[in-house]
């Protein structure tokens, strides 16, 4: 079957060897696996980070977002059957979804929204899981709650931010502020439901004061956390919470002590990596996302469609992600 892989890490994305087309054997499902015929995939920052930093001795297939059709199931599968249309983000410890057929554990897959096509659905899983876990599992915000509280989302126009803005607006009562810097991304974040949009390249505190906000109770820092860390501590209310998803080389957390601030990390691969006892919650939350989409409460965050799934188009997608100029998600469809 066709697949796209890298065999040498760290190559610049404009090098044709940074991602290559390969032919490999079709995988065989294990007891709880679904064999998926992949119809569409989307690209995330994790794809570029692994390609740049993770050594490999054999061609490694990337991709952690997909939508497709179940073609076969393992003997212990109970949640799906052949013919089901699904979407999922997979596991970072297994071969990725940039291949014609792909294996995924049923406990981290969901039924695709019936109102969306495969490309639109492929934009959603990884960012939906990350945003959901950050909001409800890490920050411990309850659905329907949050009246009088504020959430600041740094990097709101990206994939995770685009989902987080929607979930916070649709499922909580908080005031939601997003950051964006370009006219098109400001418009994007407003359209997703943010009450206010401020520029992350300008001082945050002054801009918050300009819209009548003296402090925020929760911060979701989705990019360049080290650059904003001091500002975020300054704008957080006493006993506030800061959650992040990126990988700063170091953070001096001591200044958080005076306000009794709490720090949370969100990594959506934790449950599948360790096969935690609550791993099935990722299936359940994807089922909920699918319902919210079909009910019209959440919309796809597809920002750009880059055509067929092949090495050349994936290199273009990686280049856009690495430029930090992406709006929403970059999707590819079909082999």
Q: Are residues 208 and 119 in the same domain?
A: no
Find the domain containing 66 and state its range: 2-124+270-333
- pLDDT for the residue 12: 97
Q: Are residues 120 and 65 in the same domain?
A: yes
Beta carbons of 109 and 85 less than 8 angstroms apart: no
∠ CA 169-172-178, rounded to 5°: 40
Q: Are residues 211 and 152 in the same domain?
A: yes
Say how many domains are in the chain. Answer: 2
Burial class (CB in 10 A: 0-12, 13-18, 19+), 278: exposed
Q: What are the tokens at 203?
A: 């001082």
Q: Are residues 90 and 107 in the same domain?
A: yes
Q: What is the pLDDT of residues 253-287, one digit of tens each?
A: 999 999 999 999 999 999 999 999 999 999 999 99
Residue 244's alpha-carbon distances to 73, 83, 136, 138, in angstroms, are 36, 37, 14, 10
Q: Among residues of the chain, what percentage have pLDDT more than 90?
A: 99
Closest CA to 266 of 241, 246, 286, 248: 246
- pLDDT for the residue 324: 87
Burial class (CB in 10 A: 0-12, 13-18, 19+), 305: middle
- CATH number where 219 lies: 3.40.50.720
Which strands sit side by side in the sheet containing 60-61, from one edge to the other? Answer: 20-23, 2-6, 60-61
Does the pLDDT value for residue 194 go beyond 90?
Answer: yes
Which are the contacts of 146, defined by CB distance < 8 A and separation ≥ 6?
172, 173, 174
Q: Are residues 98 and 132 in the same domain?
A: no
């Amino acid at each position: 079957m066709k697949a796209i892989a890298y065999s040498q890490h760290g190559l610049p994305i404009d090098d044709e060897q940074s991602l290559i087309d390969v032919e490999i054997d079709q995988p065989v499902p294990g007891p709880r696996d679904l064999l998926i015929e992949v119809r569409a995939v989307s690209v995330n920052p994790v794809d570029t980070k692994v390609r740049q930093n993770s050594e490999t001795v054999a061609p490694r297939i990337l991709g952690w977002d997909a939508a497709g059709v179940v073609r076969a199931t393992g003997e212990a599968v109970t949640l799906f059957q052949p013919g089901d249309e699904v979407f999922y983000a997979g596991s970072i410890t297994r071969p990725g979804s940039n291949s014609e057929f792909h294996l995924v554990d049923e406990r981290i897959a969901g039924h695709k929204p019936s109102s969306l096509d495969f490309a639109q659905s492929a934009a959603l899983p990884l960012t939906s899981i990350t945003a959901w876990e950050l909001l409800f599992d890490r920050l411990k915000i309850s659905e329907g709650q949050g009246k009088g509280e504020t959430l600041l989302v740094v990097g709101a126009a990206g994939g995770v931010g685009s989902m987080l803005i929607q979930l916070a607006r649709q499922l909580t009562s908080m005031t939601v502020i997003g950051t964006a810097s370009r006219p098109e991304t400001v418009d994007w974040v407003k359209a997703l439901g943010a009450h206010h949009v401020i520029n992350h390249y300008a001082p945050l505190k002054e801009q918050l004061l300009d819209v009548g906000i003296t402090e925020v109770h929760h911060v979701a820092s989705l990019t360049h956390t080290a650059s904003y860390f001091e500002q975020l501590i300054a704008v957080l209310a006493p006993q506030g919470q800061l959650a992040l998803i990126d990988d700063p080389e170091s953070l001096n957390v001591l200044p958080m002590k005076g306000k009794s601030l709490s720090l949370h990390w969100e990594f959506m691969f934790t449950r599948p990596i360790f096969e935690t006892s609550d791993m099935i919650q990722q299936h359940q939350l994807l089922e909920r996302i699918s319902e919210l989409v079909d009910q019209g409460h959440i919309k796809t965050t597809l920002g750009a469609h880059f055509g067929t799934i092949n090495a050349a188009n994936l290199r273009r997608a990686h280049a856009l992600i690495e430029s930090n100029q992406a709006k929403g998600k970059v999707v590819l469809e079909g082999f």
